[in-house]
Structure 1
Amino acid sequence: MTVTAIRNDHPEPTIGSAVAALRAARQAWRDGQDESRDVDSFPGRAAVRRIMDLLSGALFPRRLGGFRGADAEEDTFVAARLIAAFADLEREVAAELGYWQKESRGAFDPEQAGMIVRLFSATLGDIRSQVDSDVEAAFLGDPAARSVDEILLCYPGAIASLHHRIAHQLHGLGAPILARLISELANEQTGIDIHPGATIGRGFFIDHGTGVVIGETAIIGDRVRLYQHVTLGARSALGASRHGGRRRFDRHPIVEDDVVIYAGTTILGRVTIGARSIIGGNVWLLSDVPRDSVIVQPEAQQLGSPLSEELRDTLVEAVS
């Protein structure tokens, strides 16, 4: 067998031309952007990942932190994790504040990053309690679960919940980019996209989880269960305000307590799903649902039994 070399008539690219092309592309982008933000000051993705590892270990030292010592040494382990996490967190919050500084009406207080971290530290006990309630809800709601430890370590819904509980607090304290990076780390790992601005009650259970999307202004009550590919979204994109900014409004659903939403359902707009309602799979909703309702799509119907040759030919022709 003879091997023939493939002729390449295209000249090899040079480093110089590639650098020049990239410089031109960068400049074109920057010329069209708002110059009021300091792009050199921005939270780092690797640093945020490290912060989440440290915080997860402090919240759950044995299951997520790898601690194997005596009970009397556990607090020392947690303190060491928190010291490292808070140092990194303060630095990344300060970077985010620097990013926003030029468009702020006034200078940020030099101590503001430290204050945000101190306020965040006060929420850790509640974050742990919320995640515990989510894990318990998953254990009670999924017959396949063998233990709560399995859920915390393996279940996508629990992983996404842990990230969201942390991100939501930072979002409310004035670090929205840092919070969004945390939520996107969970999205990468689980396929669950929860905006850190969403408000979610206790005992939240996402079963399976892949493809779940929860928007920024969604409000979810206690003991709510979602299945995979559920969307709590908005009906329209943001519009421009009179002052040239982006106006924000409450545009995502409200889901009251004890609601179950099955796989593939899409709920759009500022609609309310009443307490204790059940929304079946693949439902499309744009309007309110009263409490204690059951909303389902018509059940699939079988055409012919067995399928006749004439009906088969008709169906084939219809889809071809």
Structure 2
Amino acid sequence: MSPFNFTHILTQTVDALSESESYKGLFHQHKDGEPLPSARVLCDIIELTRSILFPGYFGNSTVNSRTVNYHIGVNIEQLFDLLSEQILAGLCFGSDEECSGCTESQRDEAAHLAANFISKLPEMRQMLAMDVEAAYNGDPAAESFGEVIFCYPAIKSISNYRIAHQLLLLGVPLIPRIITEMAHSETGIDIHPGAEIGTHFTIDHGTGVVIGATSIIGNNVKLYQGVTLGARSFPLDEEGKPIKGIPRHPILEDNVIVYSNATILGRITIGHDATVGGNIWVTENVSPGARIVQTKAKK
């Protein structure tokens, strides 16, 4: 009995996978001098940014009030270099230009965008400080701000979101979505970088939360695990393809609480100070101050 011809099978498979029709829409044509975004480097960028926003909690744990200026300075310089390269990769990846490699104007733009992002870090820290405060005040089990910063998945996902959202506002392509999906993989909390979220935002437990791209969330809003802020339908164009960029997700005004596994769909408004109970679907506007809960089935 002759030995099985593995080589023939492997060669046939390589040929089949190399057919252009088989990878249509799945293949990125590399150009010399054109970088690709790196998940590993973006992880480093997130850790660096967290070490700047939460000094002493992430990065060098020996930092103190006398050395904080030095440590932040070193981290800012490193962040600028790494972020410039990743933004450049995003700009090159999203470019329709036929030229080979990234242009000098794109390199200048990437450096400019990285510097603008870094200038927003003080404001971002203020926002995250309010998010940490909201998580601490909203959870009787929380014993300190430090516990919230170290342990709570909401802070990890919200910090990634606020970093990604700022990059998106600056016009950086691709990179913001990678950053929020990194947090999604780690925490189970899916926040699109395009969502608009106010101050003192918190998510209790968090697993399974979905916040769509055009969602608008006011100040002092609290969500529990399993909450979905989703779209009800997708309008189609003449070719039957979804129309991009239209508002299709909910608006939650200030002081709204949404309990676990509630699903809120479509461009509707949940009025300020309203409470949405768990395990219900909401597809119509909710008045300010209203309390929406499941109704008991009649016997």
For the criterion TM > 0.5, the same-fold answer is yes
Q: Show the 5 A alignment for 1:247-286.
A: 247-286=244-283
Query: Matched residues in 2 for 1:207 and 1:194: separation?
Result: 14
| 1:85 counterpart = 2:98 | no
Give the percent of matched residue pairs that are identical in Structure 1 and Structure 2.
38
Query: Matched residues in 2 for 1:33 and 1:22: separation?
Result: 11
Change (3 A) 1:31 1:69: closer
| 1:19 counterpart = 2:26 | no
Query: Matched residues in 1 for 2:54 and 2:95: separation?
Result: 35
TM-score (norm: length of structure 1)? 0.83
| 1:116 counterpart = 2:113 | yes
- The answer to whether the Cα contact below 8 Å between 2:94 and 2:174 also exists between their aligned partners in 1 is no
Query: Matched residues in 1 for 2:213 and 2:16: separation?
Result: 37
| Partner SS state of residue 193, structure 2 | coil
TM-score (norm: length of structure 2)? 0.88
- The answer to whether the Cα contact below 8 Å between 2:87 and 2:172 also exists between their aligned partners in 1 is yes
Q: Show the 5 A alignment for 1:139-288.
A: 139-237=136-234, 239-240=236-237, 246-288=243-285
Change (3 A) 1:180 1:145: same
| Partner SS state of residue 206, structure 1 | strand
Aligned length: 289
Change (3 A) 1:238 1:116: farther
- The answer to whether the Cα contact below 8 Å between 2:217 and 2:254 also exists between their aligned partners in 1 is yes
| 1:28 counterpart = 2:25 | no
String of CA shifts for 1:93-123, please: whole Å, max 9, x gaps: 111111122169xx88341111111111111
AA aligned to 2:171 is G
Gaps of 5+ in 2: none
Question: Over alpha carbons, which structure has the higher Rg?
Answer: 1
Query: Matched residues in 2 for 1:276 and 1:253: separation?
Result: 15
Q: Show the 5 A alignment for 1:293-308.
A: 293-299=290-296
- The answer to whether the Cα contact below 8 Å between 2:55 and 2:63 also exists between their aligned partners in 1 is no
AA aligned to 2:281 is W
Change (3 A) 1:246 1:176: farther
Between 233-242 and 165-174, report the one with greater CA deviation.
233-242
In the other structure, the counterpart of 1:311 is none
